[in-house]
Amino acid sequence: MDTKQAEIKKEYRVPEKISVLSIFWTFFRVGLFTLGGGLAMLPVMRHEIVHKQKWLDDCDFYSFVSLATAIPGAIAVNTAYLLGRRLAGKQGLAAAVLGTILPSFTVILLVVWFLSPFFKYPKVAAFLRGCAIAVAGQLAFAGLSFGKRSLGKWQQVVGFILGLTIIGVLKIHPIWGIIAVSIFGFYFFPHQES
């Protein structure tokens, strides 16, 4: 491990030895036991990384999630990419991303191969509607837990209202809401020297 990686691990309170296999299995569990992907994965990912493994604290986790939302692509994969890289460099990155996407890929293949003939049955359709409700609950929980950490200052509340107005009320494309709130944050959030 080079000096820069050691400094990063110390700064983010990352344990010295985290095996790549441990990273893979942690993210694999997240991918396997989360319906809906994306934002629905974040509460499960947070539980595994912050509470169970204790690799990061809440503040660091939410910082990575915030950064992941600004990067094009799937938020769960982006978060896995950033967290895996922080935990164990390029190998950790590969393990986290593979662990996140492999369960979904495998389940989709199995569903297509074996279960698609059963979709016409009412009980299967009812089960899938139940899954959709569970995903809605996971998304609501993700929004509440992320919002609870993010709306502590007046600037954050104003930024939230601005983004909600642009996207939800004015029905403007979300990218413009992100850009507007980012510009607002640049001017109104306190700047910290690094």
Higher pLDDT, 144 or 47: 47
User: Around 9, how many Cα atoms within 13 Å sit in the side-chain half-sphere?
Assistant: 15
Return the pLDDT at 14: 57
Report the distance separating Cα 44 and Cα 64, nearest Å. 15
For the chain, the structural domain boundaries read 3-120
Q: What is the rounded average pLDDT of the residues 56-73?
A: 87
Return the pLDDT at 107: 86
Q: What is the rounded average pLDDT of the residues 54-69?
A: 89
Residues in contact with 26: Cβ distance below 8 Å, sequence separation at least 6, in sequence order: 48, 49, 52, 53, 99
Of the chain, the percentage scoring pLDDT greater than 70 comes to 89
Question: How confident is the model over 177-190, as pLDDT tens digits?
Answer: 888 988 998 888 87
pTM here is 0.63
Report the distance separating Cα 79 and Cα 67, nearest Å. 8
Question: How confident is the model over 103-139, as pLDDT tens digits?
Answer: 988 988 888 888 888 888 899 889 988 988 888 887 7
Mean pLDDT of the chain: 84
Question: How confident is the model over 137-181, as pLDDT tens digits?
Answer: 877 887 787 777 777 788 888 988 998 899 889 999 888 888 898
Return the pLDDT at 20: 95
132: left (phi over 0), alpha (psi -120 to 50) or beta: alpha
Q: Which tokens in the block code for residue 31? A: 């991918």
